[in-house]
Structure 1
């Protein structure tokens, strides 16, 4: 009888241990599931932030490229006018006044900065993580380097400013008022091109304008390539988000 009781107790103890182990395994499984769910939620959140940043940066890139295209058109108009030695007009002045403009692109990087803080491995898709890292750390860096000008001799503003300084003068016949929101209205005068005959014969100006056009055209090419790269990464992010929703 003692032997039978011992056997029953032993079986009961084994059963209890088995239940405890099963309970622990289930608890661990639930804990792992909760942790994975939190990680996935964090990943989804960071991907949405990066997607939003990319949309905003792309819009900035497109706006800037459009401004460069407008300046290219004005530069071509000015070159054609100089070559044809057309008479002076306000259109020539406006073209000359705008062809030295340059435009800065400031990529929005808050989402990627957050990703670096919490860890790049938060993005579980290796190819997507590499693509995102490349565009923020390589392509966007190149965008800003293009604006800052690795070679100051090919900085558009620096190229055109000496000629604008040389040929612009104040037109006292055209006063204008410039209202300001937070200060008094400014009383200014328009500018005009002086010594126009020498202006249209200045071949250094002609050559520099052509060089500025070439530089600006390269900027547009680079910017539009990055806009296409942004589109591809946004599509990859959207595909990844759809997987997470399933």
Structure 2
């Protein structure tokens, strides 16, 4: 094809048909430019298709991550509600010491009050995007902002979760009030030294239990808010999947 066009140009020059040669040369340049533009357009189209396909993959993975998060949040919220109920009942029962405390009831509440499952967000997809410097692969800017905001909340939750664990361990390790088997020994109950010791223990325990209860309330409320955000993000991901 190139040889064909070259022969035409040579023939026009031999015949001194400079005007036609110039027009032909300009036309040939235009054809080349058009060809380049078409090639660029095809290349851009291919790249856009690859980008859209990659985004669909990320959106699918994000949706899976949030499905796991929401399921975990549902389960942990229920458990935290049980912990809160037992902590409230335990504190109420402990304050009855010296009067009509039900030690078996207190021990049962104590057994169920402490300890909670840790929430660990399934953030694999976002971490992959961040490590690759490719967060903008999610084209919806509002969705990107919501994602980063959600995972900021997760980091705050982790810190509060750690604080709750530290308070809990302090109560379990350093609070001697709940040697309930000893408290039920009749031989101790009427002795003044034991009564004074236990009253002091009751005050220390109830103060620590109150702090622990408040942070469990906070964890529950924060997790509920995170769940709402997760549900909305999951919905927005579905919308982005349809638009792309």
TM-score range, shorter chain: 0.7 to 0.9
The answer to whether 1:115 aligns with 2:129 is: yes
Say which one has the larger Rg.
2
Q: 1:151 to 1:96 in 2, by over 3 A?
A: closer
How many pairs align?
215
- Unmatched tracts of structure 1, length 5 or more: 169-191
Superposed, which structure 2 residues align to 1:118-133 within 5 Å?
118-133=133-148
Whether the aligned pair in 2 keeps the contact of 1:156 and 1:216 (CA below 8 Å) is no
Higher normalized strand content (fraction of residues): 1
Structure 2: runs of 5+ lacking an equivalent: 1-11, 190-194
8 A contact 1:54–1:108 mirrored in 2: yes
74-83 or 92-101, which deviates more = 74-83
User: Is the alpha carbon distance of 1:101 and 1:112 closer, same or farther for their aligned partners in structure 2, counting shifts above 3 Å?
Assistant: same
* 1:87 equivalent in alignment to 2:99: no
Q: Which whole-Å CA distance do the structure 1 matches of 2:89 and 2:146 have between them? A: 40
Residue pairs, 1:1-246, within 5 angstroms? 2-3=15-16, 5-83=17-95, 85-89=100-104, 91-116=105-130, 117-136=132-151, 138-149=152-163, 152=166, 155-163=167-175, 165-168=176-179, 193-196=181-184, 202-244=202-244
- Summarize deviations over 1:40-60 as a string: whole Å, max 9, x none: 111221122122112212222
Please state how far the C-alpha of 1:36 moved relative to its aligned partner: 1.0
Residue by residue over 1:110-131, the C-alpha shift from the partner in whole angstroms, topping out at 9 and shown as x without a partner, is 1001111142222222221111
TM-score, normalised to structure 2, is 0.76
C-alpha distance in 2 between matches for 1:93 and 1:55: 37
Higher helix share: 2
Q: Quote the Cα distance in structure 2 between the aligned partners of 1:29 and 1:83.
A: 78
